[in-house]
Amino acid sequence: MERLKQQAIQMARRAAKGVAAIALHWSGARELLSAVQRRAVGGRRVLILSYHRVVKDFGLEEKRSLSSLNVSHETFRRHLEALQETHDIVPLEDALSVIDGSRAAARDVAVITFDDGYRDVYAHAFPVMRDMRVPGVVYVPSALIGTERRLGHDRLYAALARMRERGIGPVAVGVGGRGERWLTDALEGGADPHTALERLIAHYPTPGLLELAEALEERLGLKHEKAPDGQLPMTWEMLREMDSHGIVTGAHTAEHTVLTHAKLSEARREIAQCKATLERGVHKPVKHFAYCNGYYSAGVAQALRAEGFISAVTTEDMPNVPGADPFALKRKVLWEASSMGALGFYSKPLIACQFDDTFGMLGVQKPVMGARPTNFEKEETAPAEISAHG
């Protein structure tokens, strides 16, 4: 009953937002608000968009994977077409020049980015961008490239979804120890798999979560289930081909590690390992970094500078303005529902308001900030009690 209530609330909010977007777009208020903000910040804004998977069949993927990471290739193309009407889509290094004032821009500029290095970005996003001659950045976890390994959050989501499907609770699944306590906290209040996953990633170290995923897969019989091809990592050949068309490779740690949950010394090692591996594989310098889960700290940013990176992106949903910190760049994360209007279909007015940060300027949409304290003490170790064998 509670789940149905939440769905009804979400639908009502989406409808209200869709109706508001139509009014703001066609009345000219959206453009007026954008002009006011440009004057207030003293120059052109830089919009950085973040995507994860670009899929052929959103309906199918919605049933078998984390839907909030997915956008259909038709919707993705519509996003780019709408974006080109109001923004110049440029390489990230050009956008950095606009931010630091060394490059003038006739219009607001935009950058297209992808996190996690999913194979269906190559299959479905790359052809669209190549045809439209749109540059971009794909941030990839270096240890997964060219393997058949799935990312930890996809593995955990599959396990949590299977637990819900079977009606299995944290105790009954039998991982024991700290893993059981983590699951109990994450599933508190009857949380759905998506909410439970967010809680796990927000609070616990990545190595421990990977061990928890291993234990759950063993207990639930998921260990040998084959993942959809698009959910697997890209190969080196795919990355090099995309790079030759202006979609450069960026770093996203080695194992998709939330660095603020790790000791700073461990974070430094992972950053260095990731950069070295990527540069050997793509045969060129790798200069741009994306913080996993959008979490960053002053210490992690300094470690990136020391390794020769020139930028790092968060998931804070705000436009970048002149003088912004290149190691705390803001990004708008989009998926299929981001442009779904009042009637449940693609809405150009809604996506235009998203691109212009109209709802943010009105105070209706607030960013989730990613800044965290530098971690000098916490051990990035998985608890020994978490075991596939209890």
Report, as an integer, the average pLDDT of 182-201.
96
E strand or H helix at 167:
none
Calpha distance 39→31 (Å, rounded): 12
For residues 337-357, give the mean pLDDT. Answer: 92
Confidence of residue 8 (pLDDT cuts 50, 70, 90): low
Give the pLDDT score at 12: 66
The radius of gyration of the chain from alpha carbons, rounded to an integer in Å, stands at 21
- pLDDT, tens only, 100-159: 999 999 999 999 999 999 999 999 999 999 999 999 999 999 999 999 999 999 999 999
Q: What sign results for the dihedral spanned by CA atoms 360, 362, 365, 368? A: positive
Between 254 and 363, the more confident residue is 254
Structure tokens at 38: 């440009």
* Averaged pLDDT for residues 19-40: 88
Q: What's the whole-number average pLDDT of the chain? A: 91
Q: Is the pLDDT of residue 262 over 60?
A: yes
DSSP labels for 321-367? -TT--TTSB--EE--GGGGB-TTSSB-HHHHHHHHTTHHHHTTSS-P
* Per-domain residue ranges of the chain: 2-149+228-361, 152-220
Rounded percentage of the chain residues whose pLDDT exceeds 70: 93
| Residue 289 confidence (pLDDT) above 60 | yes
DSSP 320: B
Residues 6+ apart with CB under 8 A from 138: 113, 114, 117, 121, 234, 239, 242, 247, 248, 249, 250
Pick the CATH number of 2-149+228-361 from 3.40.50.300, 3.20.20.370, 3.40.1110.10, 3.90.1010.10: 3.20.20.370
Question: What is the reported pTM?
Answer: 0.93
